[in-house]
Amino acid sequence: REMAKRVDFISVGSNDLTQYLLAVDRNNARVAGLYDSLHPAMLRMLLRVVEGGHGAGVEVSICGEMASDPLAVILLIAMGFDTLSMNSASLPRVKWLIRNFSIATARKILAEVLEFEHPAEIRLHLQKALEEEGLAGLIRVGQT
């Protein structure tokens, strides 16, 4: 929050933040399996960044793989990110999700997953939520 008082905006690079927060080099095959942007520590950190930024009246945006991942987008909109920055190919899918997923449901899901301890639990919970909303087709084929 202290830093947020000194800046005009905050932009989170989710790929780098995940790598540094989890101390996992995503390009190292021996540990790349530990890299997961849905890790509970990552989600708690992102929520703190948004709360701190908004508490100081600063807009908070996010870029990187999370901003284009439908599972993560549910949580990002619930957290209150002002802007999601992604490649243009991902835009239609993310836009569709945001227009068709209730913010109230997203907030409920966020509260639930913040209690989980493992990224796999979070991912499964989010996949089930998309299925229940009839939006399972938004998940990339082969994504786990």
Can you give the residue range of the structural domain that contains 24? 3-138
For residues 38 and 144, the model is more confident at 38
Q: Is the pLDDT of residue 40 over 90?
A: yes
Instruction: Record the tokens describing residue 58, joined without a space.
Output: 């600063």
Confidence of residue 141 (pLDDT cuts 50, 70, 90): very low
Q: Does residue 143 sit within a domain?
A: no
Identify whether 49 is part of a domain.
yes
Count structural domains, the chain: 1
CATH number of the CATH domain containing 117: 3.20.20.60
Token digits of residue 19: 């790598």
Is 144 part of a structural domain of the chain? no
98 pLDDT band (50/70/90 cuts)? very high
Which DSSP state fits 24? -
Can you tell me the mean pLDDT for 118-130?
Answer: 94
- Could you report the per-residue pLDDT of 54-93, keeping only the tens digit for each? 999 999 999 999 999 999 999 999 999 999 999 999 999 9
Residues in the chain: 144
3-state secondary structure of 40: helix
Q: What is the mean pLDDT of the chain?
A: 89
- Helices (runs of H) and strands (runs of E) counted in the chain: 6, 3
Residue 13 pLDDT > 60: yes
Residue 60 lies in a domain: yes
Asked if the structure places residue 11 within a domain, the reply is yes
